[in-house]
Structure 1
Amino acid sequence: MAGSLPIVITPPSPTGGRRVRVDGEILGLAMSLRDVVEFLRRAGMDDITEEDVILSGMIEWRGGGPDVWSAP
């Protein structure tokens, strides 16, 4: 995966979705893994895939991994 900026996916919000942050900047509220991929593509990671997002050690998943999209 291109780039070395810190990528953080925040815990799910009470209304659903997770904020995607790159280098401290919020890129948007992702409702699915597909949204995370799209936000990262717009941030310049053109070749990123859903598999990259799931397996990357560069992404810090807070409050659950890539399969958690709603608050407990």
Structure 2
Amino acid sequence: MRGLPVVVYPPDGSGGRRVRVDGEILGMAYSVRDVAEFLRRAGLDDITEDDVILSGVIEWRGGGPETWSAPS
């Protein structure tokens, strides 16, 4: 991932997770597909959903790529 710091924050009440790349919040993701799209817009043109899931560079807070709902 070319060294960009990527953080996906814990899910909020709607199941959305903020995505931050290189210190800038890019938006609210509701799926791995959304995270991949944000990263493509940030310049990682060739990233796939599988790359997002398998990457050791993304910091997933409050659950990994399978977590899209807030704890009850």
TM-score (norm 2): 0.93
Aligned to 1:30: 29
After TM superposition, the structure 1 = structure 2 runs for residues 29-48 of structure 1, keeping only pairs within 5 Å, are 29-48=28-47
> SS at the partner of 1:65?
coil
Number of matched pairs: 71
> SS at the partner of 2:39?
helix
How large is the RMSD of aligned CA atoms in angstroms?
A: 0.8
Structure 1 ranges of 4+ moved more than 2 A: none
Deviation (angstroms), 1:15: 2.0
Distance 2:29 2:19 in 1: 7
- State, as a whole percentage, how many aligned pairs show the same letter: 76
Distance 1:50 1:19 in 2: 17
Aligned to 1:6: 5
Distance 2:22 2:40 in 1: 15
TM-score (norm 1): 0.93
| 2:16 maps to amino acid | G
After TM superposition, the structure 1 = structure 2 runs for residues 33-72 of structure 1, keeping only pairs within 5 Å, are 33-72=32-71
Unaligned runs of 5+ in 2: none
Unaligned runs of 5+ in 1: none
